[in-house]
Amino acid sequence: MKNAEPPKSTKSNDLKKNPWKRKPKTKVNKPSGPASRKEHKTKSRDRITGNYSGNPRLLAAEVILELENNRSTLDRLLEEKSEAIEALNSRDRGLFNTLVYGIIRWRGRLDWILATFSRKPLAKLDQAVLAALRLGLFQLLYLDRVPQSAAVNTAVETSKILGGRSTGAFVNAVLRNAVRGNYRTSWPGPRKDPLKYISATQSIPAWMADRWLQRFGFHQTEQLCQALNTIPDIVLRTNRLKRKPELVIELLKDQVQSVRICSTAPDGIRLHGLGRPVSSLAGFREGLFQVQGEASQLVAYLLELAPGMRVWDACAGLGTKSCQMAIMMQDKGLVLASDNNSTRLASLEKEKTRLGISSIRTKRLDLLTISEGPACDRFDRILLDAPCSALGVIQKNPDVKWFARQDRLPEYGKRQLAMLNQASKFLHPGGILVYSVCSFEPEETVEVIKAFLKSEQKFDIYRPKASHWLRKHITPAGFLQTLPHRNKMSGFFAVALRRHS
C-alpha cells in the first residue's frame, strides 16, 4: 500500500485526544406529528434551495451536486448562485472558491482514495453522499488549517442536509476509515499501467489521458496534466486607450501579492494572490483593464490590424476579443461583433461602455444561417473564434474535463469547418481571416484547416510579420500553438488565412 498524500500539501496534525468520542446527549425537543414533520422538511428544503446562512461548505457541496446532476457548466451555476456567494464574507468566499474548484480539479484522485475506504462502490452511491464525501476528503487532504474532526463533521452535516439524515453515518464511517488509514491506497504502477496511473494520480479522464499519451508520451503527458491542475494566475489586458501597462501595474501593486508584465502578450499583466473580485480593483470601473488570458491575447495579433479597418468578430461571445481589436485599432474603424445569443451581446454593450470604446457595433445573428453580409459586403479582417471543446482551458474551467466527450470532437470539427466556410465568403481579396479555438485536439485544429484549404482554393496560410515574442509560438506549418506545460498559458490554436483572389 502506498501513501496517498496529495501533491500540494501534507497533513501532519494528529487527532488530539479522541475527536470521535461521543459527547453527552442533550435533550432535544424533536418535532412530532404531521404538521411538525412537514415544517421540519420545509426548513431542510429551504436550506438546500438557497438559504445557506453563510455556510460556504454547504453552498460548495450543492454546486458540486448540481454540477453532477444537471450537467450545467460551472460558470453558469456560479452565476445562478451569485447572490448567495456575494452574501458570504470575504474569508468564507475564499473558502467556497477553494472547495469548489479544488474538488472539481481533483475529483478523480479523491474518488480513487474514497474507493479504498468505502464498503460500497462509488458508482452505487447517491450523488449527494458522494458530494459530501468529496467535500470532507478534500478538506482532510488539502486544507491544513481545517482540523480533521471539523472536516469530517461538516461533511456529515452536509450529507444529512443534501441526502437525508440516514446518510450521515455512512459518510462519517468512510472518512473516519480514511483518517485512520492515513489515506493510504494502492496507485497503479506508472510503468505497468501508465494510463491508469495518469488518470488516477492526475485526476484526468482515461480517454483524455489515452489520447495525450499517444501524442505526447508519458513524461509530457504527466507534465501537461500537472499544469492543467495548477491554480492559474489572473491575467488582465490593459486598455491602451486609457493607460499603459506600466501605469496599471503601479496602480495595482499594493492590491495583490505580485503583479508583472506577461512574458509574451505586450498588453497583458499577470496578477498573483488576488484575494477578491477583479471588479473591486482600482481602475476597473474606469475601464483601465479587462480580464483576458495571455494565450487568448495573442490571437488578434495574427490579423495585423490597423486603424480604419472593417473587422468582423463572427462568434463574439462576450466580446473580449472584440474589445481588444477595437483598442488595437485605436478605436478607429468598425468592429462588428455578432453572436446568436442576445444576453452575451447585452453584456458586450456594457463592457464596451466601461472601456470607453465607440467603434464596436453588435448584431445578433447565426453564422451558419446567414446568406448575405451581416453589415457590409466584405470585411478587411475576420476573426472566427469558433465554439469548441475548450480542452485547452481546463486549468481555468476544471469542470470541462469531466463533461467533455471524445465522440463529440469530430462533431465540433464539422461544425467549425462549416462556420469557417461561411465566414470566408465575406472577406475582401487580400484580407485576412483568423481561425482560433481554445483546444489543441487535432479534430478541431489541424484537420479543420486541412479540410478548408482543400475545398477553398482562394485561401492560403499567411505568416504575419510578427514580433519575436509571437513568432516563437508559431509552428513551421504556420500555426499559432500554445500548450499549458510548455508555455505556461492556456492551450490555444490559431491560424491566419489570406484570401489571394
Active site residues: 438
Cβ(259)–Cβ(289) under 8 Å?
Answer: no
User: 265: closest CA among 497, 498, 496, 490?
Assistant: 490
Tell me the C-alpha distance between 229 and 12, whole Å.
23
Cβ(215)–Cβ(270) under 8 Å?
Answer: no
Residues 6+ apart with CB under 8 A from 78: 63, 85, 100
**What is residue 47's three-state secondary structure?**
helix
What residue spans of 164-261 are helical by DSSP H?
Answer: 168-180, 194-201, 206-216, 218-228, 245-252
Cβ(426)–Cβ(379) under 8 Å?
Answer: yes
Beta bridge partners of residue 312, listed in sequence order: 336, 382
Residue 467, Cα to own-chain centre: how many angstroms? 29
Strands 492-499 and 459-461: antiparallel
Burial class (CB in 10 A: 0-12, 13-18, 19+), 233: buried
Write down how long the chain is: 501
Tell me the C-alpha distance between 295 and 233, whole Å.
13
Cβ(61)–Cβ(68) under 8 Å?
Answer: no
Stated as kind and residue range, the H or E segment containing 499 is strand 492-499
Tell me the C-alpha distance between 436 and 324, whole Å.
15
DSSP summary character for residue 257: S
User: 233: closest CA among 8, 470, 395?
Assistant: 395
Hey, what's the cell of 470?
509571437
Tell me the C-alpha distance between 81 and 68, whole Å.
16
CA atoms within 13 A on the CB side of 451: 17
Cβ(398)–Cβ(104) under 8 Å?
Answer: yes
DSSP letters for 327-395: HHTTT-SEEEEEES-HHHHHHHHHHHHHHT--SEEEEE--TTT--S-SSSS-EEEEEEE-----GGGTT
